[in-house]
Structure 1
Amino acid sequence: MSEPSPVSDPYAHMSMVKNPDGSITRDPTRFTGVPATPDPPSPQIPVASKDITVNHSISTWMRLYVPTAALNDDVPSKKLPLIVYYHGGGFVICSVDLKHFHDFCNLMARELNAVVASPSYRLAPEHRLPAAYDDGRDALEFIRTSDDEWIKSHADLDNVFLMGTSAGGNLAYNVGLRSAFAADLSPLRIRGLILHHPFFGGEERCESEITLKNDQVFPPNVGDICWELCLPVGANRDHEYSNPTVGDGAVNMEVIGRLGWKVMVSGGGRDPMIDRQRDVAKLMKEKGVDVVERFTDGDVHGAELGDPTKSETLFASIRNLIYSSVP
């Protein structure tokens, strides 16, 4: 079997065009957006969803997912774990309402019997990091103080997990760090992080990036472009936002360990970033973090998105993590 050809135009691979002034133009037809299902659905539709505004001034919002059975319960007997899920897209493309993210969150709410909140965040290069982290943290503050009936009646704010795929996994980690160093978030309490194929980087190529340099899903040269567009101007891929194993990374992980959070790091053996994900999990373990490693052979970056069979297997592992963390 011949090796696949390298991706020659990383911008085209991401359905973007780089403009002479350094800005980008995204292809609005690349992905399909779908509406929420806000009305109390029939029992044949197991999950309801709706969109709510988080911050009017910067146009951020979130999509909430709640199992229908919980909404149909006139007197809710038990609140459900809350998973705050951040979507992927290299920090430069994609949105909460894209079909594959919507379907993934919908299935997650059903399979885990949980409330899922999927917040939007501002994209780079128009809004470079840490803007997305600010928005991710802002979403937690919104949830903490929200009068929304779905959140108030059905979300257990004492049992919250931050989760994300790809850039969303990086975002979940960095929002978690900000929360770890923040003042009391009461009544919201984070119990752990679920880093699904997290987007991490570094200046020197790791072995998996070299071996899988011609990956057709998210090759290293595409990742390079994303980091170039989203990191602070002048920063390289060894910045703390992209490489959590450098600088104060070990100290940050010790803080997470002292908080007693459980962390799942999930990756695929055909993802060029697999070695980086393993390195992050290894350092966390060394610094006292309770880490569950879930690395699957043969899976490409984000493999569980769009594949319900793989998603359900992932959710079974997440279910064990969540319900083993219930106080």
Structure 2
Amino acid sequence: MMNSTSEEVKVELPGFVRVYKDGSVERLFGSPLGPPTLEDPKTGVSSKDVTISSDKNLSARLYLPKLASNNHPILVYFHGGGFCVESAFSLPHQRYMNILASQGGVVIVSVEYRLAPEHPLPTAYEDCWTSLNWVASLQDPWLASHGSLDALFIGGDSSGANIAHNLAIRAGTESLDNGVKILGAFISHSHLMDDPSSSNLDVQMGYKVWNFVYPDAPGGSNSHMINPMADGAPSLAQLGCSRVLVIVAEKEGQRDTEIRYYNAVRNSGFQGSVELFETKGEGHCFHIFSPDSENAKLLFQRLTSFLHK
């Protein structure tokens, strides 16, 4: 616990992060962390931590289903947390990944990218692109022995969904290592915004987060990195994958933007398939923190279907 007074605070993102004048950072929100496991008692999934780049302090947690074959789809996953809190090593995310690896029969690489404000955007985008290329090179034996690059997926929730979208856009014009292609992307409860004038408190907070984590964003609050429908944004037709699943929750503040994003992809000339899945009566990222609820189970079933369709 820091012994700093309010007079020493330089800037604060309420409920998320406090930055002091001496440069130190205090995170006000975050789930407890947990270690990887060699066969989770509930799902049988094994996990381990790997270093992707020691120079960048970039790592990931890998998940392997219990009945491992040599041809599992590979999911590269990006966690949420407003680009500034949470971790791939948190207990809620570990539980989520265990369920998805078990039910979906997928090998998962959950990326521990660097966070703002110590590492403002676009650092997270670059870290996740580096991680995606690391996966494409099959440097880890779990990936080489049990994964199929013919079924490579990316996905994320909240800010992680924003990352997944932006990496899919980048993959439309920039090749991954070894000519690997992304088959599909799921964009879940995304941190995408297209209405700076909105009076919705969740949307207003979303913009505060964006301006905090990416103060030098080209276009500011209307950057194409946060608003894929902005004037001058790259065409959504260039998404570098064959399938897109947009996942929304009825009670999310940004639901309307997510629906507009889905329709924009569908009407862009995108040559792949785009699907929408909405959960009624639920809020933002409910499935991560209440994974045993009936609605979460239905969402997991939909994700499993998407990863094997």
Residue of structure 2 in register with 1:222 after alignment: 205
SS at 1:69 equivalent: coil
TM-score relative to the length of structure 2: 0.87
Deviation readout 1:174-221 (Å, 9 max, x if unpaired): 111112211254363211110010101235334xxx3x53xxxxx234
Aligned counterparts of 1:276 and 1:147: Cα–Cα separation in 2: 38
CA distance 1:102–1:159, shift in 2 (3 Å): same
> Take 2:142 and 2:183, find their aligned partners in 1: how far apart are those partners?
21
Query: 5 Å matches for 1:19-58?
Result: 19-20=20-21, 24-27=25-28, 30-37=30-37, 39=38, 41=39, 45-58=43-56
Cα pair distance change 1:25/1:141, threshold 3 Å: same
1:10/1:221 contact within 8 Å kept = no
- Residue 261 in 1 paired to residue 242 in 2? yes
Quote the offset at 1:233 in angstroms. 2.1
Q: After TM superposition, give the deviation of residue 319 of structure 1 in Å.
A: 2.3
Match of 1:190 among 176, 182, 202: 182
Structure 1 contact 11–222 (Cα < 8 Å) conserved: no
Is 1:316–2:301 an aligned residue pair? yes
Q: State the SS of the aligned residue for 1:58.
A: coil
Match of 1:311, SS state, is helix
Aligned partners of 1:42 and 1:271: how far apart in 2?
Answer: 32
CA distance, structure 2, for counterparts of residue 12 and residue 184 of structure 1: 38
Rounded to whole Å, the distance in 2 between the matches of 1:42 and 1:283 is: 40
Aligned partners of 2:162 and 2:288: how far apart in 1? 17
Counterpart selection for 1:300 from 278, 283, 298: 283
The structure 1 residue matched to 2:77, chosen from 80, 85, 106, is: 85
- Residues 169 and 198 of structure 1 are in contact (CA less than 8 Å); yes or no, is this contact kept in structure 2? yes
Number of the residue aligned with 1:101: 93
Of 133-142 and 224-233, deviating more is: 224-233
Say if 2:138 is the partner of 1:146.
Answer: yes
Question: Structure 1: which 5+ residue stretches go unaligned?
Answer: 1-8, 71-75, 214-218
Partner of 1:155: 147
Letter in 1 for 2:275: V
Query: Cα distance, 1:22 vs. partner?
Result: 7.8
Residue type matched to 1:286 in 2? N
Q: Structure 1 pair 271/80, CA: closer, same or farther in 2 (3 Å)?
A: same
Kept in 1: contact 2:168–2:241 (CA 8 A): no
Of stretches 154-163 and 304-313 in structure 1, the one that deviates more from structure 2 is 304-313
Q: Is the 8 A contact 2:235 2:268 kept in 1?
A: no
Deviates further, 268-277 or 118-127: 118-127
Q: Are residue 171 (structure 1) and residue 163 (structure 2) matched?
A: yes
More deviation, 306-315/54-63: 306-315
Counterpart for residue 5 of structure 1: none
Could you say which residue in structure 1 is the equivalent of 2:63? 65
Q: What residue is the counterpart of 1:13 in the other structure?
A: 15
Over residues 2-37 of structure 1, what are the superposed CA-to-partner deviations in whole Å (9 max), with x where a residue is unaligned?
Answer: xxxxxxx983422x224347874214x742001001
Equivalence for 1:237: 221
Are the aligned partners of 2:194 and 2:230 in contact in 1 as well (CA < 8 Å)? no
Partners of 2:253 and 2:265 lie apart in 1 by: 20
C-alpha distance in structure 2 between counterparts of 1:26 and 1:42, whole Å = 29
Distance in 2 separating the partners of 1:42 and 1:136: 26
Alpha carbons of structure 1 residues 148 and 22: separation in structure 2 relative to 1, 3 Å: closer
Quickly say closer, same or farther: Cα 1:224–1:22, change in 2 above 3 A. Answer: farther
**Separation in 2, partners of 1:174, 1:47:** 29
Q: Distance in 2 between matches of 1:279 and 1:201?
A: 10
Q: SS where residue 61 of structure 1 aligns?
A: strand
Note closer, same or farther for the CA distance 1:100–1:278 as it changes in structure 2 (3 Å cut). same
Residues 1:281 and 1:21: Cα distance change in structure 2 (over 3 Å) = farther
Instruction: Give, in whole Å, the separation in 2 of the partners of 1:95 and 1:130.
Output: 17
Which residue, 257, 275, 278 being the options, matches 2:259? 278
Q: Distance in 2 between matches of 1:223 and 1:260?
A: 27
**C-alpha separation between the residues in 2 aligned to 1:10 and 1:268?**
28
Quote the residue 1:216 is aligned against: none
Verify the 8 A CA contact 1:137 1:179 in the aligned structure 2: no
Cα distance 1:30–1:190, how it changes in 2: closer, same or farther (>3 A)?
closer
Percent identity among equivalent residues? 26
